[in-house]
């Protein structure tokens, strides 16, 4: 962990022995490769929080699937292609619902969260969009 004037950086890795494939839900512990993933989390003590995650791509054990590998997702922390944690997304969604785009972006800035009105409005629109499951 590194604490700077305006941000906190956490270096993380998953300790789970296996993970469920997001495509077919089959569990796997065979690592295909590692890669760096960067996520933004809710601020701490007025500082932005960046998670530097050593992510894993796992070999899927399902021979009938259309995929051979899948990126490990950590429950309640990561989602496919997401650049922020679920907790930060929930917080921004609440801000967007209560404040709207422009005022919400200003409030977020005061809370050490960098975002824009279009992002906040997109979160509201995403609530109405149908959820895509595995």
Q: Are strands 7-13 and 19-20 parallel, antiparallel or unpaired?
A: unpaired
Q: What's the rounded Cα separation, in Å, for the pair 99 and 56? A: 37
User: Which of 23, 52 has the CB closer to Zn ion?
Assistant: 23
Widest Cα–Cα separation across the chain? 51
Interface residues with Zn ion (CB under 5 A)? 21, 23-24, 60, 62, 65
Kindly state the smallest distance separating residue 49's Cβ from Zn ion, in Å. Answer: 31
Q: For residues 62 and 89, which CB has a smaller minimum distance to Zn ion in the complex? A: 62
State whether residue 128 is helix, strand or coil. Answer: helix
CB of 48: closest distance to Zn ion in angstroms?
Answer: 34
CB of 35 to Zn ion, least distance (A): 18
């Amino acid at each position: 962990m590194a604490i700077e004037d305006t941000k906190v950086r956490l270096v993380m890795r998953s300790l789970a022995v296996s993970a469920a494939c997001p495509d077919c839900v089959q569990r796997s512990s065979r690592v295909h490769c590692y890669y760096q993933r960067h996520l933004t989390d809710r601020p701490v003590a007025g500082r932005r929080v960046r998670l530097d995650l050593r992510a894993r791509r796992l070999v899927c054990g399902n021979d009938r699937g259309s995929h051979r590998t899948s990126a490990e997702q950590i429950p309640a922390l990561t989602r496919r292609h997401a650049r922020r944690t679920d907790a930060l997304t929930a917080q921004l969604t609440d801000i967007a619902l209560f404040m709207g785009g422009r005022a919400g972006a200003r409030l977020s800035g005061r809370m050490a969260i960098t975002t824009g009105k279009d992002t906040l409005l997109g979160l509201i629109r995403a609530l109405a969009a149908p959820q895509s499951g595995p």
